[in-house]
Amino acid sequence: MSVLVGKKAPVFNSKAVVNGGEIVENFSLEQFVGKKYVVLFFYPADFTFVCPTELIAFQDKATEFQARNTIVVGASTDSEFSHWKWLQTPQNQGGIKGVTYPLVVDQSLNISKDYDVLIGSNEYNEVGDVVLVGEPKAYRGLFLIDKQGVVRHQLVNDLPLGRNVDEVLRLIDALQFTEEFGEVCPANWKKGEKSLKATQEGISSYLSEKA
């Protein structure tokens, strides 16, 4: 798997559904560079089982992401029409009505390939043609991208394993803390807790206080 941490997030321009029902032709993360942090997450498919729990969980924390100057963006290999229909379907009927952050369309599979979360892969068949082997869907990949467009965190779960939205918020807090104060965040750090200086004296002091 590709490690994208420390590198510029792959650029894409694609259709998306925004604001819970508006289809746009040219959605790109480039519009947020220099302005906002981005949480880009991939999910396998619309109208499935674990996926709506994740998408709704991200929406439930919308004000907390906004408070951290962070935009959430979902992406799957479904069409814009599938996204739109799912967004119009009530939650008690398996839909995600009420979700307002962008849902990106990746029917070409190119975005999933660039972020290396595609389940299927291209291989040559017996006559030399390129064919997709495996499902044309994405694993549950998540990428935290800073305001310079650089990936600072990535996580990829297998299909049955839902993600923890509170952990995503904690990582944003940690990233923003280190950017502002220059100190580093130890294991299980949460906003408001003690950080440490990236020196031998700093770690010794921190561990002594924890003992």
Q: Which residues are catalytic?
A: 51
The rounded distance, in Å, linking the Cα atoms of 168 and 178 is 16
Contact between 1 and 141 (Cβ < 8 Å): no
Q: Which residue has the tokens 């206080």?
A: 209
The rounded distance, in Å, linking the Cα atoms of 35 and 30 is 10
Q: Identify any residues that bridge with 76 across adjacent strands, giving them in sequence order.
A: 105
Phi, psi of 122 (to 5 degrees): -80, 130
Long-range Cβ contact pairs of 20-24 (< 8 A, separation 24 or more): 20/87, 20/97, 20/98, 20/99, 20/100, 21/84, 21/87, 21/88, 23/80, 23/84
3-state secondary structure of 130: strand
Six token digits for residue 36: 């906002």
